[in-house]
Amino acid sequence: MEPQRAGTVKGSSGGMRVSIFRQMEEGGHEALIFCYDRPAGLKAIIALHDTTLGPGLGGCRMWPYASEDEAVRDSLRLSQGMTAKSALAGVNYGGAKVVIWGDPRSDKSEALFRALGRFIESLGGRVITGTDAGTYPEDFVLARSETRYVVGLPVEYGGSGDTSETTSFGVFAGIQACLEEVYGTDDLRDRRVVVQGCGKVGSRLARLLVEAGAAVTVADVDLQRARELASSCGARVVAAEDVYDEPCDVFAPCALGGVLNDDTIPRLRCRIVAGAANNQLAEPRHAEELRRRDILWAPDYVINAGGLIQVADELEGFDRDRVLRKTAAIRPLLAEIFRVARQRSITTLEAADILVRRRLTGAAHLRSFYRPPARTAR
């Protein structure tokens, strides 16, 4: 569900153990479920943040966490993010996340994913999961033999397949919203856009931008990959370490998280930051730092929601046109976030939060309306 690889998980290993309930109280989480299967070697944590809007939807990450505390923190943090993401993507799902504590290179097995599938199934649809860092659609083909509640399966198993096309389409629409806000026009002709990361989403985005007439510069830690993309679509290349200094209109981070930090923000020479990467801000305060410098930031979880919209659609019988229509709505949504931020003189991150709360409160109120059970035909 999140197209990125997991960055290094922050937080102290060892040290004082943090109370699980304390963390759940702070984040407002509903449930944290420890799942263990000895023969399969499964240790998984299912975090459910908020199910006001519907079943918890969130990817399943597999990662060799240094400690249980780290795995707990990661699952709680990521599930909370999923609540906000689903709320703004307009889908009727709550926030969840699954983490498998293990090394994706050495600890995978049929038994492991089937055991996980059984736990997911036992929750009766309150949690729906799919691929994330460290897991692949093939893993969920295994899990699927034990549970209906998986998405993001390969096409031949009834899934919608690769989500990078939808994600990049959503980011493109989001960039247009940013241009409109800053320049009063969404015209991309001769706009300078720097794309950081030439993976599946970054490369598709670069092509869309070039087609729309933008002057695109690409960068990747794998220089060869950047060169190949540039020559195939007519973009320039900049060294990965110089990407923050490149003068441009739009900086589009499509690789790692944490790229907007104390070191990089002063170097930025753009008016807009809008890209597909997850967790772009090193810390929430960096949203304020960008605002102070008059750089418009498109909140990552809003602009990169295309993948989520696609997999959520699988649960209603996948329809590509419908998915693209829903993904196009990222543009007016971002426009609304920018409007709220402008009017209240707050960051776009804070404005997005306000819209999240607005949707959750509205939906919670709907639930208090008593609806008689559906009548069946006689």
Partner 1 sequence: MVFDRMEQLGHEQVVFCHDKYSGLKAIIAIHDTTLGPALGGCRMWPYASEEEAIIDALRLARGMTYKNAAMGLNYGGGKSVIIGNPRTDKSEALFRAFGQFVESLGGRYITAEDVGTTAEDMAFIAMETAHVVGLPGRSGDPSPATAYGVFCGIKACLAEVYGDESLQGRRVAIQGLGHVGYHLARLLREAGAELIVTDIDPERAERAAREFDARVVPPDTVYDAECDIFAPCALGAILNDETISRLRCRIVAGSANNQLAEPRHAAELERRGIVYAPDYVINGGGVIHVAEETAPGGYNRERAFAKVATIYDKVRAVLRIAREEGITTAEAADRLAERRLEAIGRLRRFHLPSR
**Gap between the Cα atoms of 255 and 201, Å rounded:** 9
Query: Among residues 20 and 237, whose Cβ is nearest to partner 1?
Result: 20
Q: What is the C-alpha end-to-end distance of the chain, expressed in Å? A: 43
Q: Give every CB contact of residue 117 below 8 A, 6+ residues apart in sequence.
A: 142, 143, 144, 145, 146, 147, 150
Q: Which is nearer to partner 1, 104 or 125 (by Cβ)?
A: 125
97 is catalytic: yes
Give the angle subtended at the CA of 4 by the CAs of 19 and 330, to the nearest 5°: 95
- Residue with Cβ nearer partner 1 (39 or 266): 39
The nearer residue to partner 1, 124 or 362, going by C-beta atoms, is 124
Distance CA(24)–CA(148), nearest Å, equals 28
| Catalytic choice (10, 43, 85, 97) | 97
Amino acid at 285: R
Q: How far is the CB of 35 from partner 1 (least distance, A)?
A: 6
Closest contact distance (angstroms) between CB of 87 and partner 1 is: 17
The residues that bridge with 196 in the sheet, in sequence order, are 219, 253
Name the token pair of 137. 């659609």
| CB of residue 123 to partner 1, shortest distance in Å | 6
Shortest approach of partner 1 to residue 66 CB, angstroms? Answer: 12
Rounded to a whole number of angstroms, the minimum distance from the CB of residue 367 to partner 1 is: 12
Q: How far is the CB of 69 from partner 1 (least distance, A)?
A: 8
Give whichever of 81 and 299 is closer to partner 1, judged by the CB atom: 81
Residues that bind partner 1 (CB under 8 A): 17, 19-22, 24-25, 28-38, 43, 68, 101, 119, 122-124, 126
Q: Is the dihedral of CA 183, 179, 253, 62 positive or negative?
A: positive
Q: Which is nearer to partner 1, 119 or 301 (CB)?
A: 119
Which lies closer to partner 1 via its Cβ, residue 116 or residue 201? 116
Q: Which is nearer to partner 1, 47 or 255 (CB)?
A: 47
Shortest separation between residue 20's beta carbon and partner 1, angstroms: 5
Q: Least CB distance from residue 17 to partner 1, whole Å?
A: 8
Provide the annotated active-site residues: 97
